[in-house]
Amino acid sequence: MLLKLNKKGKIMELEEIQKYIKKQLSEKRYYHSVCVMERSRELAKKYGADIKIAEKIGIAHDVAKEMSEEEKLKYVKDNNIKIDDTERKNTSLLHAKIGKDIAIKQFGFSENMGQAIANHTTGNKDMDIYSKILFIADRTSRDRKFEDLEYLNEITNKSIDEAVLYILDKKIELQIKKKAPIHINGIIARNYMLEEMI
């Protein structure tokens, strides 16, 4: 499945994106991004998606992760990015929407590629193959140490949709344990995935 290029034309080459990302992130966060890129490549091969697109989304997904709270709020204001009350109160969520904006403007990503980055924290309704790949790759990359990683990889090998649903459940459970707000996109995504799988 090939995605259309945005109006700017050519999507930046992977090596150029990597150089940009390396300058923006700490060594630890850059390593995570490389691991997610590698995992995205594996999943793209497994599920028949475009490997180059998956790699680019994977390396770029956390480009805005280490911006300060003030920088994030200023960026969304300056670039007319709509945010909700949950995102305003929990600015760590904003790196996904900002990442989408940067990827489209700086790297020439298509809307679909950018949307995969926007979806990678909370999930969303109507996630395409690249959104699902990134969502799973971010949770199952080799730098992750979750206790359920082996089990999740088994699910991923059987069904991409079941893996996405499992991760959504875990994210929601974590927010409940923390007595923290749950972003509405995660709930909508979970309900949509359940309906699609019935």
The answer to whether 109 touches 56, Cβ cutoff 8 Å, is yes
CA neighbours closer than 13 Å in the CB half-sphere of residue 189: 27
Radius of gyration in angstroms for the set of CA atoms belonging to the chain, rounded to a whole number: 16
> How sure is the predictor about 157, in pLDDT bands with cuts at 50, 70 and 90?
very high
Token look-up 């929407």 returns 97
* Residue 111 CB partners (closer than 8 Å, separation 6+): 6, 104
pLDDT tens profile 65-106: 999 999 999 999 999 999 999 999 999 999 999 999 999 999
Burial-class residue 42 by CB neighbours within 10 Å (0-12, 13-18, 19+).
middle
pLDDT above 90: residue 177: yes
Domain ranges of the chain: 14-197
pLDDT tens profile 5-17: 444 568 899 999 9
CATH topology of domain 14-197: Hypothetical protein af1432 (1.10.3210)
